[in-house]
């Protein structure tokens, strides 16, 4: 009983205050620069990520490597407060297009197991510029004109969802 009481109501001394200060500093650094918490707003990544889901953006994901095709990434839209969550479909120098609801990269069909509903998008071929990737959301049931997608500079990718 005394151990429980000591745990719940610790003696406030110098050692306790230093410990609390260190925990607060580590939490501040971690959740400000390494694991940025975010909530998904919108349906563009459904069913992979649903509207209202909570997650963390892992800023260390691409510290030593570049993102690759099919990665889900967080793209800085306005600072770190507004981020878009999208999937990479094509890398720099590749040509991407949609034909009758099918994705083609460099004129080869690409399997997309994360897209669960049929869609009818058509998009003329376009080549991804150097230093850019081509991103689209997983929810293709809605008309193409309502989606935010396209080329984005790799420098705007700030990380990947933790889960």
**102-158 tens-digit pLDDT:** 999 999 999 999 998 889 999 999 999 999 999 999 999 888 888 889 999 999 999
* 25 domain-assigned: no
For CA atoms 100, 101, 105, 111, the dihedral sign is negative
CA distance 56 to 69: 21
* 78 domain-assigned: yes
CATH number of 116's domain: 2.10.109.10
Starting from the edge strand earliest in sequence, which strands make up the sheet with 54-58, in order?
35-39, 54-58, 157-161, 72-78, 82-90, 132-136, 150-153
* 99 domain-assigned: yes
Please tell me the number of Cα atoms within 13 Å of 28 on its side-chain side.
6
- Which of 44, 61, 68, 111 is an active site residue? 44
44 catalytic? Reply is yes
* 19 domain-assigned: no
* 58 domain-assigned: yes
Residue 42 makes CB contacts below 8 A (sequence gap 6+) with 51
Rounded to two decimals, the pTM is 0.84
* 4 domain-assigned: no
* 89 domain-assigned: yes
Largest CA distance in the chain: 72
Question: Domain residues for 85?
Answer: 37-161
Number of domains in the chain: 1
pLDDT in tens, 43-94: 889 999 999 999 999 999 999 999 999 999 999 887 656 788 999 999 999 9
* 76 domain-assigned: yes
């Amino acid at each position: 009983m005394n151990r429980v009481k000591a745990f719940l109501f610790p003696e406030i001394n110098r050692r306790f205050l230093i410990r609390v200060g260190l925990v607060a500093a580590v939490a501040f650094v971690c959740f400000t620069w390494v694991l940025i918490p975010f909530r998904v707003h919108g349906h563009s990544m459904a069913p992979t990520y649903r509207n209202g889901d909570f997650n963390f953006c892992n800023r260390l994901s691409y510290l030593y490597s570049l993102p690759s095709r099919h990665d889900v990434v967080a793209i800085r839209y306005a600072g770190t407060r507004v981020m878009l969550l999208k999937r990479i479909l094509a890398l720099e120098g590749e040509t991407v297009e949609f034909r009758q609801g099918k994705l083609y990269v460099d004129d080869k069909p690409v399997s997309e197991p994360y897209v669960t509903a049929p869609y009818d998008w058509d998009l003329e071929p376009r080549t991804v510029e150097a230093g850019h990737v081509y991103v689209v959301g997983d929810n293709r049931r809605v008309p193409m004109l309502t989606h935010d997608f396209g080329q984005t500079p790799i420098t705007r990718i700030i990380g990947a969802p933790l889960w």
